[in-house]
Structure 1
């Protein structure tokens, strides 16, 4: 450690300079510079900075010097954006309270009384050099971490742009495939064999699933890039929820799952209707996905002291206690499995969490393995107009 450390000695006495140099070299410090005054010391630092050379790890500064004393020199160095980080030990024959106070107030790291004792000088220099090297190492690691985080952020933005572009380019063709499958099913109804009807149904269902995946990826890219915005409009929240339940009922009916409605009139609210539809679709979709046939999903809308609450409760497989904290994370996968082998991206709950937070809302989850799950979305009181 000592051999690589640079020390600058600043003293107007040639004798003091030589004594300090000799002691330091006997302690293993070989890389030593000397300056016969404060101005010369500052010039040496300026030259090193200009030449992009390594600056000293420590400065030993005499206090009593002509033209500029040591305390004035320390004050000047500690206001310099590059030199302010170099530790300085003041050395002087003066050890009165005022001198000590002025030295430390100027920014000195330590103080040694002349004549200098080798054990004292070695102990003080070793300690400060060690601290300086540890501090430099930590700063280097912090800078490397900043650069790494910056690079990761750049890569994340590239990834989000790719996801957004790819998902956007896929959405149109998938919507067309689904639309043509619906059109063929409607127009050729009765003219199709059982196998043909089944194949068209598979095309429709597969394209619908892929379109949902693509939409999730688009939403994820928007959220990750910080571009999620709300188009709030005034609307009757009970009617918004009621209409969306009508849309979701046919999907639930395929598993003979009944959607029970307990919707109170909560008044007019300022929300992004499309995003609220998305929240309900996802909560209901998960409730149906993880519920066995011939069960019930209950949807409640009500007001309490905190604002408006929307609850979706199922009688499904439930969620283990250890899975609940990661439920709304990105690409969430839990130990519970869909009852009919349904697929998902694992992004749905992450997306609706972001939508609810954008409405300044919150979530709560109650679940027990084998006994169903209840998820409540709360919107603040100010949502009501």
Structure 2
């Protein structure tokens, strides 16, 4: 037996349905196999074809596929289609040459002719079929489990996709809101700087023509608008820190009266200059659990706003009370009040706040936005009650210390 024939016989020994076949039988198969030549991209058979033959690749490569889905790629000395020798079902896939390929073809009729001479060989074929059925049963169980696992993972993936989609929409909304907010901030930062630059240019160019009193008036305006810009930048920095997580929170048991006293002392002179009666009503024994620096910022911003909108001879009250397991801090004034339609958007980051009663308030309302963020971070809530021509009251809560 020549080497080529010997190699093919050796290869056929690896075919499951030929297990136990003698070499002489396999040699007879080889003697009756014919060569088939395929050009690159030429199909040997297509899915659905009624074609019964087994093939051995002598030289080349083929792909087993269903349209664009590739099941496998076979190369030299590999075989396929062996079960078509005992099963006349149509082909379940298409086989196409990847490159020029030479194969040996064993037809079902040749297989039947040889087997009929040795009926006992059917026992070997039946054994291989039974083994294959058992393998199919095991495979089916594995596939069932795998299918269930895939379905579960598919459900999880779909749910995750829904979550990601929702998060994406939320993020897009947040980014759009922040973009609008930064546009407002840029506008409000530009205004005081434009005013400062304009007044300082006038002073530089016409300083000799102004009286001392007029020059001081201009300098006071420069000072006021510079402070407004600085306060806006300071608030912006605090807000940015709260957004990036770099703002450290130090919760501890603290006396609310001490916080209010500090803010009260800070604004006593300003209130006196505007002839505003600044009043505090706080039980010195009230203790909460909060970050002192954050709560001080909240009270300071709310009192500062009240001073801006309260007319001369007006009154501002800072009050703290117990409400169940929370403390309620109230900052109220008897200024002009806020229009009802503006109350709803007062703490929104994407809405510019326009208050006609004061040119000192930044239109972004950043101070109130920071108040809300800081109060929420401390486990409380914040709201406002206002009536036109009567005044405004801001309330916020904090956890009471046990």
Whether contact under 8 Å (2:289, 2:398) holds in the other structure is: no
Name the structure 2 match of 1:306: 325
More divergent stretch after superposition (232-241 vs 138-147): 138-147
Q: Structure 1 pair 253/154, CA: closer, same or farther in 2 (3 Å)?
A: closer
RMSD: 4.6
* Higher RCO (C-alpha 8 Å, min separation 6): 2
Name the structure 1 match of 2:69: 48
Query: What does residue range 366-385 of structure 1 map to in structure 2 within 5 Å?
Result: 366-382=385-401
2:363 corresponds to 1:342: no
Q: Tell me, what secondary structure is at the counterpart of 1:370?
A: coil
2:346 corresponds to 1:327: yes
CA distance in 1, matches of 2:302, 2:350: 16
1:356 Cα deviation from its structure 2 partner: 1.1
| TM superposition score normalised by structure 1 | 0.53
2:283 corresponds to 1:214: no
Query: What does residue range 140-289 of structure 1 map to in structure 2 within 5 Å?
Result: 145=165, 193-289=212-308
Listed as ranges, the gaps of 5+ residues in structure 2 are 1-45, 51-63, 73-131, 197-210
Listed as ranges, the gaps of 5+ residues in structure 1 are 1-31, 37-42, 52-64, 87-135, 178-191
Whether contact under 8 Å (2:65, 2:71) holds in the other structure is: no
1:310 Cα deviation from its structure 2 partner: 1.0
Give the total of aligned pairs: 255
CA offsets 1:115-148 (integer angstroms, 9 cap, x no match): xxxxxxxxxxxxxxxxxxxxx9x99995994795
CA offsets 1:71-109 (integer angstroms, 9 cap, x no match): 6476155246499769xxxxxxxxxxxxxxxxxxxxxxx
Name the structure 2 match of 1:113: none
| TM superposition score normalised by structure 2 | 0.51
CA distance in 2, matches of 1:217, 1:50: 60
CA offsets 1:266-289 (integer angstroms, 9 cap, x no match): 344443332222111111122222
Name the structure 2 match of 1:9: none
Q: Structure 1 pair 144/313, CA: closer, same or farther in 2 (3 Å)?
A: closer
Q: Tell me, what secondary structure is at the counterpart of 2:69?
A: helix
Name the structure 2 match of 1:78: 147
2:364 corresponds to 1:295: no
Whether contact under 8 Å (1:265, 1:302) holds in the other structure is: no
Which entry has the higher C-alpha Rg, 1 or 2? 2
Whether contact under 8 Å (1:278, 1:352) holds in the other structure is: yes
CA distance in 1, matches of 2:301, 2:275: 19
CA distance in 2, matches of 1:142, 1:304: 41
